[in-house]
């Protein structure tokens, strides 16, 4: 702890922090140092040794699972600390809020047995019965957290040392703080992912604080494995898959439905990671980077990691892939057998994700709102990064048929446009620079709604699907189609 406070540790708490480089007792001191630097003594008026006892008891409540272990808890706390101190998230919270956030982050998976909510419900475990199948593991973590807080009387001085609660009834203050910590932990249930995404967009639209900042931050930290440097991200992914396959094996042994992504004979790590990054992490962190401008670093790393996963996926030998987000022809691959018709459920490290049928439209609308209402906040657009890929395509791309079969396309004009243009071209015809400028002018209204296009090794499959629906495949007509994209 003293070394951390004096900045004498070999590694800084940030994107490159590796929890595996430390022994458990050393992690006690590092976590305690984070609380101390955030004003533990002044905020809740307890001494360091009391907080250390609390941290040790929390660690004892974690199982030694592959992924949902005390190492994961410390990693989440480290990311939260980084967000608060380096990315400016502390500007949105009081000191007491920040302490509650770190307590929730440290305890959010306590008691997690490495078998997610789907298994708990399907196997009719005691926990599922106790919590009526609702956020089973999250409720269990809340119960254990409150028990440890009670044991150590962690909040006994808050009413006397915090200006916000001075002269208030100590019991009411205790209840208020416990409710806040409980709310933050419960929000880590992946079934609330899209609710949190909408809350994040509501915060951006109103440009004012709301009651969900802590939950938004913890959810981002809980998803942050994918947006960490490649060696760290890959190791966490290995641990996730190990825990997934262990659950899948138990489900087979107990004649239970095998959860999505957990059958070691069918699931593929690369495709799971790519789908998780594209459909869950990327839209969330794009909105998150609008909330905290400096959080664009997460998107940069996510893009780099995607290239690594793509390279690994394409390297032989290649097992049969399993898509995280199924298309209409292969929806049964990942759907929970107990899900209702038309509702998709996907198992993730953080829990069960229920995908609304209208999610693509919701994400498109959210992205459009970020463009029009918060351009001054979104500095990312100036650096060439994209907004959500769900809003890249205009509703009706500009089209032009050239009448001059001998004209030539101006390369300089071709690559100077930041918009996406789909142009049917008669066989043997080329677009000239004059006609191209007409196209550019005609699509000006669409360009206002488009972010700059993220550099990628390939077009997003949603874009390809929309392009095909608008223009066809080109196989049945003797004409070529040209797709022009910004750099």
Active site residues: 68
CA distance 349 to 353: 10
Residues 324 and 272: beta-carbon distance below 8 Å: yes
The answer to whether 78 touches 13, Cβ cutoff 8 Å, is yes
For 142-169, letters b (16+ CB in 10 Å) and e give bebbeebbeebebbeebbeebeebeeee
- Is residue 143 within 8 A of residue 95, CB to CB? The reply is no
What are phi and psi for residue 401, nearest 5 degrees?
-105, 125
Residues 423-451 as b or e (16 or more Cβ within 10 Å = b): bbbeeebbbbeebbeebbeebeebbebbb
Residue appearing with tokens 């410390």: 74
Comparing CA positions, the residue from 217, 224, 255 lying closest to residue 240 is 224
Three-class DSSP category at 479 = strand
* Three-state secondary structure call for residue 428: coil
CA distance 299 to 285: 7
* CA torsion angle 281 292 162 150 (round to 10): 10
CA distance 127 to 288: 33
Q: Which residues on adjacent β-strands are paired with residue 352?
A: 347
What secondary structure does DSSP assign to 298-320, as a single string? HHHHHHHHHHHHHHHHHSSS-PP
Structure tokens at 387: 């907004």
The backbone region for 342, taken as left when phi is positive above 0, alpha when psi lies in -120 to 50, beta otherwise, is left
Residue matched to tokens 């298309």: 327
């Amino acid at each position: 702890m003293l070394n951390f406070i004096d900045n004498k540790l070999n590694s800084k708490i940030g994107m490159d922090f590796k929890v595996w480089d430390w022994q458990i007792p050393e992690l006690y001191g590092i976590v305690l140092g984070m609380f101390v630097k955030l004003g533990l003594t002044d905020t809740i008026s307890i001494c360091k040794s009391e907080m250390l006892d609390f941290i040790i008891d929390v660690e004892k409540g974690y199982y030694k699972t592959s992924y949902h272990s005390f190492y994961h808890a410390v990693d989440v706390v480290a990311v939260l600390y980084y967000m608060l101190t380096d990315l400016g998230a502390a500007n949105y919270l009081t000191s007491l809020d920040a302490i509650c956030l770190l307590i929730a982050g440290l305890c959010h998976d306590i008691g997690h047995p490495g078998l997610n909510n789907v298994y708990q419900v399907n196997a009719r475990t005691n926990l599922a019965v106790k919590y009526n199948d609702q956020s089973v593991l999250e409720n269990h973590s809340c119960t254990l957290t409150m028990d440890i807080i009670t044991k150590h009387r962690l909040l006994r001085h808050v009413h006397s040392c915090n200006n916000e609660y001075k002269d208030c009834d100590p019991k009411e203050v205790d209840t208020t703080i416990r409710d806040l910590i409980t709310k933050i932990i419960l929000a880590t249930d992946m079934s609330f992912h899209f609710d949190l995404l909408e809350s994040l967009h509501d915060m951006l639209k109103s440009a004012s604080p709301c009651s969900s900042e802590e939950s938004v931050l913890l959810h981002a930290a809980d998803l942050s494995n994918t947006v960490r440097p490649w060696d760290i991200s890959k190791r966490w992914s290995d641990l996730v898959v190990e825990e997934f396959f262990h659950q899948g094996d138990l489900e087979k042994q107990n004649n239970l439905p095998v959860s999505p992504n957990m059958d070691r004979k069918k699931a593929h790590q690369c495709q799971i990671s790519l789908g998780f990054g594209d459909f869950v992490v990327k839209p969330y962190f794009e909105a998150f980077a609008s909330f905290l401008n400096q959080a664009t670093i997460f998107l940069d790393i996510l893009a780099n990691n995607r290239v690594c996963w793509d390279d690994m996926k394409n390297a032989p030998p290649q097992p049969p892939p399993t898509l995280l987000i199924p298309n209409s022809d292969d929806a049964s691959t990942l759907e929970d057998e107990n899900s209702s018709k038309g509702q998709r459920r996907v198992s993730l490290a953080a829990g069960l994700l229920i995908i609304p049928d209208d999610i693509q439209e919701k994400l498109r609308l959210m992205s459009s709102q970020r463009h029009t209402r918060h351009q001054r906040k979104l500095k990312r657009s100036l650096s060439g990064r994209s907004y959500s890929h769900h809003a890249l395509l205009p509703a009706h791309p500009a089209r032009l048929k050239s009448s001059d079969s001998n004209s030539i396309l101006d390369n300089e004009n071709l690559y100077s446009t930041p918009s996406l243009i789909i142009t049917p071209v008669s066989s043997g015809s080329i677009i000239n620079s004059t006609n191209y400028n007409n196209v550019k002018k005609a699509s000006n209204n669409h360009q206002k709604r488009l972010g700059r296009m993220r550099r990628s090794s390939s077009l997003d499959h949603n874009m390809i699907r929309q392009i095909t629906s608008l223009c066809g495949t080109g196989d049945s007509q003797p004409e070529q189609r040209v797709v022009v994209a910004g750099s």
